[in-house]
Amino acid sequence: MNKQAGQNHNSTQLNFGGIQRNAGRDYYEYLVPSSLKLLLAWTPTAELDRRSLDNPKLFKCRFGFAPPTIIREQVVAIRRQHDFTDQQIRWLRYSGLLKITAQEAKLAPSRLIFMAGWLQLIVVSLVCSSMLFQITYPTAIVPAWKQMAGYLFICGYWMMMAWPLGKLYLEPWYVLKRAGVMEAQSI
């Protein structure tokens, strides 16, 4: 008689969601994320897209807003069509280049936003340059360490102002330009 015929082969194999491994025999293996961020990190993008359509909380964690199902489908379709990342979708929405209404979501590229970003960046740069000039050529004798502290403070202030302006106004416009949306809508 075969050895295995006498053995009990009752084994339990569980498969939660179809993305973990069934190890066989007397144990099973599955991954349960402890947070939504961990789920976003290890789940394939196609699976996240499918789950995001049914789960507004997951969609909000990915893109930063929770619209109705029709809008979620359109946002995911835009993301797939232009191969945008989740962060790019967020910043496109923040900048106003991704318009979300009650009935639709669409890309609305505008040179006005791009020009406003450059204008604000130029104004901040001019103000900071004038402050640097004031520190470099003071009317009274100022110790060198105070001048250096002033330089560092103003450069830090400029960076603190320039980074959000670039992220909010300039980068989303360049993302749309690289994706070919600008040529398609002939702006």
**pLDDT tens across the length of the chain (187 residues):** 555 555 555 655 555 555 555 555 555 556 677 787 888 888 889 999 999 999 999 999 999 999 999 999 999 999 999 999 999 999 999 999 999 998 999 999 989 999 999 999 999 999 999 999 999 888 888 888 999 999 999 999 999 999 999 999 999 999 999 998 877 665 4
Q: How many domains does the chain have?
A: 3
How far CA 130 is from CA of 153, 154, 158, in Å, comes to 14, 10, 12
76 and 124 belong to one structural domain: no
- Does residue 171 lie within any of the structural domains? yes
pLDDT for the residue numbered 151: 95
82 and 103 belong to one structural domain: yes
pLDDT for the residue numbered 25: 58
136 and 161 belong to one structural domain: yes
102 and 48 belong to one structural domain: yes
- Does residue 87 lie within any of the structural domains? yes
- Does residue 2 lie within any of the structural domains? no
- Give strand pairing partners of 156: none
- Does residue 165 lie within any of the structural domains? yes
- What spatial distance separates the first Cα and last Cα of the chain, rounded to whole Å? 81
CB 113 within 8 A of CB 173: yes
pLDDT for the residue numbered 36: 78
Cα angle 56, 39, 57; round to 5: 15
54 and 115 belong to one structural domain: no
Q: Which one of 107, 122, 152 terminates a domain? A: 107
- Does residue 6 lie within any of the structural domains? no
pLDDT for the residue numbered 79: 95
Which residue range(s) make up the domain with 160?
111-185
Q: Which one of 68, 92, 107 terminates a domain? A: 107
- Does residue 5 lie within any of the structural domains? no
- Does residue 1 lie within any of the structural domains? no
152 and 134 belong to one structural domain: yes
148 and 125 belong to one structural domain: yes
pLDDT for the residue numbered 181: 86
pLDDT for the residue numbered 138: 83
pLDDT for the residue numbered 72: 95
CA–CA separation, 68 vs 56, rounded Å?
8
178 and 120 belong to one structural domain: yes
